[in-house]
Amino acid sequence: MVRKLYTDKEYSDKACEANALGKKLIKVQEEREYEVTVLEWEKKTIEVPIYNEEGEIIGYEEKEVDDYTKPIMIEIVDPETGEKIWVQKSHQETRTEIVEYLEIVDNPENFQRNFFNTSLGYVRRKPYVKGTKEYKDFLSDMLAGMEVGQQIITYTEDLQPNLVQVTQEFLDECKAQYNKDFYGE
């Protein structure tokens, strides 16, 4: 059985965060060890039936199991009071479980779908325009009004913004990208 280390709300929040970053959210499963305290019991012998291929009992074998009505008790000194007390004997065991957690990873396909590369950095294809409070298509809605020397925001591969000045080379690259998108390679 897989134990999830996140809630549905955390999943939703991480998915929104990954989407905003242009990345993808994945579920990672891995084995982890953990310690558990195991109580000790006296043993008892029981008879367990042995079955043949037809499901008929053909005999019995003896098997030793814990007798959950008889705990093994030991005397210890209570660390707080210093008194001797009786407690059930126990030991630590290491167990293994499969856990699942969330991880945000790069999504090259999504990055390429949302950005294109220029000499000034990566340009968001659909930037948010504060003045109109809407998303615009950079190449078809905004490129025609751009001029050399105008300031725009481009991004590094890890989505760090840079304020740059438009150059003629940049405008030519954007027109070439528009044609590539429209006509193909």
122 and 101 in a common domain? no
Does 141 lie in the same domain as 118? yes
Nearest to 146 by CA among 124, 166, 122: 166
Range of the domain at 142: 107-183
How high does pLDDT run on average in the chain? Answer: 91
The CA distance from 92 to 69, in Å, is 21
* pLDDT tens figures, 115-145: 899 999 999 998 888 888 888 899 988 888 8
**DSSP line for 104-159:** EE--HHHHHHHEEEETTEEEESS-EETTTTEE--IIIIIGGG--TT-EEEEE-TT-
pLDDT at 148: 95
- CA neighbor of 168 nearest in space, from 178, 159, 176: 176
Residue 107 confidence (pLDDT): 75
Model confidence pTM above 0.75 = no
Nearest by Cα to 174 from 182, 131, 23: 182
Question: Which of the 8 DSSP states describes residue 83?
Answer: -
In the structure, what pLDDT confidence band is assigned to residue 26 with cuts at 50, 70 and 90? very high
More confident residue, 131 or 65: 65
Asked if 66 and 127 sit in the same domain, the reply is: no
Looking at 53, 88, 123, which one is the last position of a domain?
88
Q: Which of 101, 102, 104, 105 is nearest to 31 (CA)?
A: 101
Neighbours of 24 (CB within 10 A): 17
- Tens digit of pLDDT for each residue in 140-162? 888 888 999 999 999 988 778 99
Residue 89 Cα distances to 39, 41, 134, angstroms: 6, 8, 68
**Domain match, 132 and 178 both:** yes
Q: Are residues 30 and 99 in the same domain?
A: yes
Side chain identity at residue 141, one-letter code: D
